[in-house]
Amino acid sequence: MTDFPSYFLDFLKENEIEMKEYSYKEIPRYFRLKKPDVESLLSIDYQPVDWFEEFYQTSSNTNIASLEVYKAGLLYGLDVTSGIAARALDVEPDDHILDICCAPGSKLCYLADLLGENGTGTVTGVDISKERLYTCKSLIQKYKLGRARVFLADGTTFNVPAPTRVGSKVLHSELKKRKNPEDESTEVKPNKELKKQRLAQSLKPFHATRLIRNDPQIKGYLYDKVIVDAECTHDGSIAHMQKYFDNGWQGFQEQFLNPERLTGLQTLQRSLLQNGYNLLKKNGILVYSTCSFSPKQNEDILNWFLQENKDADCVQIAGSERYPVAPLKMREGYDDRIKNCLRFSPTASRTSGLFIAKIRKL
């Protein structure tokens, strides 16, 4: 695979990306099952991923969408590295999760499954692409998620608070008992009185499941967990780039490496990460990820973020000692906690590239 266009080779050199990462034209196709007991329904050759439970791998040529178990809503096509990013949130049943840059939605569906069926936790997704949100909506419906909503909005300015109601259940005791936290005596009916505490202008969901469709959007309620799978150059997404490997590079520069787009990309990534952090509760967890190999979009972004947010701690991801990871791109002067981040790559893990950072708000 040496027949790369000159502008792509220039990008690799400028961003310290090794050519060997593109020596694997074909990497396994990964998937997970909605329920373990449907494994017997698989009609393909597959094997479990031995370093990350719940995930399986099969040939890169397998057409997942043609499988009956997929059509029945019992199988997700999801790269194992995306599963690790989602699991790094340490999801609990009553967590309210925000997924910034959520489309096309397989990761959002996994987060909903991690919540389980018995808690009051919810998943809120936001994406700026209407076309991709239609895909997300179809997955929410296909997999019959119970407490999920998605918004068509800019992730850098999105400010819809975490839900305060699931179905008829008001989740926070202070909303049940009083008009405001300082008024200890007044009993109120949430449906009438809480209108005064809502956002000045509510944002209608692009799609929401019944239980959280009519959440009142009350100001001040933050999310327990946030994941920012930031917009990037996608140079590490081998599966995504496959069509360019096979069919030529026409359109690749315009879509991913447009100079005008690259100029503001790091600013966009910083803004997405900062806004996600602003919407996170104290002691909450945020995961930042990209599918780029470029340290400018990963380690550099984290180093800037830790300098700007003194109450942020970049912490170790549970289970990371088992993962076949690539070396981090550590520069002189970096915050030492960046060593807790993870890099996956085709040469190290036989996956697409993914950078993952786990941040706790102190």
| CA-closest candidate to residue 266, choices 228, 226, 224, 304 | 304
Annotated binding residue at 105?
A: yes
Cis preceding linkage at 104, omega within 30: yes
Tally of CB atoms within 10 A around 346? 21
Q: What residue spans of 4-128 are helical by DSSP H?
A: 6-14, 68-71, 80-87, 106-115
Q: What does the longest C-alpha to C-alpha distance in the chain come to?
A: 74
Q: Is 232 a catalytic residue?
A: no
| CA-closest candidate to residue 32, choices 57, 50, 65 | 57
Round the CA-based radius of gyration of the chain to a whole number and report it.
Answer: 21
Consecutive H or E run containing 170: strand 169-170
Annotated binding residue at 6?
A: no
Concatenated DSSP letters of 322-351: GS-PPPP---TT--GGGGG-EEE-HHHHSS
Q: How far is CA 67 from CA 72, 110, 351, in A?
A: 9, 19, 22
Consecutive H or E run containing 280: strand 280-290
Annotated binding residue at 116?
A: no
Annotated binding residue at 154?
A: yes
Can you tell me the distance from the alpha carbon of 98 to that of 194, in angstroms, rounded to the nearest whole number? 23
Annotated binding residue at 102?
A: yes
The residue annotated as part of the active site, out of 109, 232, 291, 314, is: 291
Residues for the chain: how many in total? 362
Annotated binding residue at 127?
A: yes
Residues 6 or more apart in contact with residue 350 via CB below 8 angstroms: 24, 27, 28, 324
Can you tell me the distance from the alpha carbon of 354 to that of 30, in angstroms, rounded to the nearest whole number? 14
Catalytic residue positions, numbered = 291
Which residues are documented as binding site?
A: 101-107, 127, 154, 229
Which residues are documented as binding site for S-adenosyl-L-methionine?
A: 101-107, 127, 154, 229
